[in-house]
Amino acid sequence: MLRRIGLFAVLAAACVAPAHAELVIDVQGIAQPTPVAVVPFGWEGRTPEMPADVAEIISADLLRSGRFEPIGEDKMLQKPTDGADVDFQDWSFVGVEAVVVGKVVQTGENAYTLQFQLFDVFGRRQLVGYRMPASRGTMRGAAHRAADMIYEKLTGIKGVFGTRVAYVTARQQGDGRLYSLVVSDYDGFNEHTIMESEDPIMSPAWSPDSRQLAYVSFEGDKSSIFIQTLRTGNRFRVSSKPGINGAPSFSPDGRKLVVTLGGEEGNLDIHVLDINSRRTTRLTTHRAIDTEGTWSPDGRWIYFTSDRSGGPQVYRVPATGGTPERVTFEGSYNARPRLSPDGKRLATVFNDRGNFRIAVMDLERRDVLVLSGGRQDESPSFAPNSDILIYATRQGRNGVLESVSADGLIRQKMRSSAGGDVREPVWSPFPRY
Amino acid sequence: MSYFKLISIAALSFLLAGCPGTPEMPDPEPTDTTYGGDAGASTSGAGNDPYGGGEFFGEDLAGEVGNVIYFEFDSSEVRAQDQDIVAGHASMLNSNPGLRVRLEGHADERGSREYNIGLGERRSQSVRQMLMIQGVSASQIATVSFGEERPVAFGNSESDYSQNRRVEFVYPN
């Protein structure tokens, strides 16, 4: 039942270190990424340079995906900015399979149009052409959106270049530690610390509309669950009962949280919290530790960790209440379940011969694939396209983030350039353009 | 009096050992236990000298009573050598009904974070139960679990882990 992926079936290793970014990303791609060309974009505007180097952003996205290898500018025989000028013979000679050309046109003081075209070199045809408005502030986002469209045309998989990641960092500060809750673009840009505390912060969770994060904070030496709106920074405390308040996760409709409550007696159970009314419904009553609840994408089930059988295993219970049933049987330790957004796979923290690693189980075939190779890997979170997972691993004494494609072939390491311990990454849903 | 206490501790250990709320987990890896971090713990003992127990120390809040006890891997059972420490705190709380203690449970870093919150809570609850059996009022005790979030040792050897699997007795103010 258990398959293992060769962790070093990797050839290319590229390092992308964007300026000002908190995260530095190393990509380990598949053996033969597809060569493509992203020609420098044309600029028609009132300033010497365009607000963001769109071609470079698209190139970096494609490179980071591990599936593509954008060629250098010096290898290009022509640098067209309009599809009409693309010479397929030249590009065929250079050996690329796809070409992206485009330009940015300034249409007002802070108004621009970004347009791009993607061509299949061998088929000699346009795969997609698109034009979209942007401002200085949204130019990076528009470039990511273009990369998403290009990636989807070429692979059939939705791109996640416009998504964000939330994570927690901890660093030494004087005698204590400073914990930060951070949100950044998936590529480490636009990093924002949205909450800081000398007490631990845990378990961030995205709302389905990407506008809010729920998390656990220990400020005042007790655990409480907060929901914070990213745009305004406003937050409200949704659960602060005696004992443990933990492990929040939003329902697919965004109206409820599944949470873990412990009470004075410390019996951790799964509860559903209605965010508006603050009413809670208890779903489990077992004396064991029941925690880490998460909704199935169809909203019907809540999957959770329970050690009612001895060690932690994944169970599920109908979201409206019912009898829990066990889901995982492979291995002595399966915790922190997360379902892929397409509902087909279940990721867990898995004990692999004494090492805690990220495993993914196909819910239909029920086979288990160990995807990570560390000793202390944790907090798996699926990208919204179900094709990539992000998780935390140890490097020396610090936590760093890694992502891996669901087939195990493409791996990225993200380490914090600011140092400190980075943990609990959670991938945002798709942005709503 | 101390005889009675020792009996109840023995009974409690028996209870805890058979308690369905504290299941034994299969050990994922062999644990090489060295307890390098017991600096705060006094180990004179109930086990070796059951009748000659002398006096419980620490009627005041001075640091004579150890304020930290440590746990085996995946266990919430108070070890024999730490039961005196718990009894010392019970005695202090019993003679000062206005006194409040916060039991802070901790786990080592292995495994999942929220599950480790559960393991830390199980440890603080096991100490809470032991205090209550010795007469301490529930209203004097608060528990909190920090799981693996507040380690005292940052390495990844068993010696580091063993220092992190602990319950701290904290007296606010």
Instruction: Indicate whether B76 belongs to any domain.
Output: yes
Residue B161: closest CA among B70, B46, B55: B70
Q: How many CB atoms lie within 10 A of CB A24?
A: 16
Domain count, chain B: 1
What does the pLDDT read at residue A368?
95
Instruction: Indicate whether B132 belongs to any domain.
Output: yes
Polymer length in residues for chain B: 173
- A-chain CB neighbours of B173 within 8 Å are none
Do A221 and B144 make contact, defined as CB atoms within 8 angstroms? yes
Cα angle: A94, vertex A95, A97; to 5 degrees: 125
Q: What is the pLDDT of residues A137-190, one digit of tens each?
A: 999 999 999 999 999 999 999 999 999 999 999 998 888 899 999 999 888 888
Instruction: Indicate whether B151 belongs to any domain.
Output: yes
ipTM: 0.89
SS3 A311: coil
Do B114 and A311 make contact, defined as CB atoms within 8 angstroms? no
Write the CATH number for B105: 3.30.1330.60
Cα angle: A246, vertex A214, A281; to 5 degrees: 55
Cα angle: A357, vertex A358, A360; to 5 degrees: 140
What residue in A sits closest to B28 (Cα-Cα)?
A354
Q: Which are the contacts of A109, defined by CB distance < 8 A and separation ≥ 6?
A: none
- Sign of the torsion formed by the C-alpha atoms of B76, B82, B84 and B89: negative
Q: What is the pLDDT of residues B96-144, one digit of tens each?
A: 999 999 999 999 999 999 999 999 999 999 999 999 999 999 999 999 9
Domains of chain A: 33-155 (3.40.50.10070), 164-427 (2.120.10.30)
Do B117 and A244 make contact, defined as CB atoms within 8 angstroms? yes
- Best of A203, A218, A285, A303 to disrupt the B interface (most B CBs within 10 Å) is A218
Domain with B138 in it:
2-24+36-45+66-170
Q: Is B26 on the interface with A (CB under 8 A)?
A: yes
SS3 A149: helix
Q: What is the pLDDT of residues A91-115, one digit of tens each?
A: 999 999 999 999 999 999 999 999 9
- 10-residue averages of pLDDT along chain A (433 residues): 38 33 57 91 95 96 90 96 96 97 97 97 96 95 96 95 94 90 88 94 97 97 96 96 97 98 96 97 97 98 97 97 97 97 97 95 94 94 95 88 88 72 95 73
Instruction: Indicate whether B52 belongs to any domain.
Output: no
The mean pLDDT of B24-52, rounded to a whole number, is 35
Instruction: Indicate whether B9 belongs to any domain.
Output: yes
Tokens describing residue A290: 């029941």
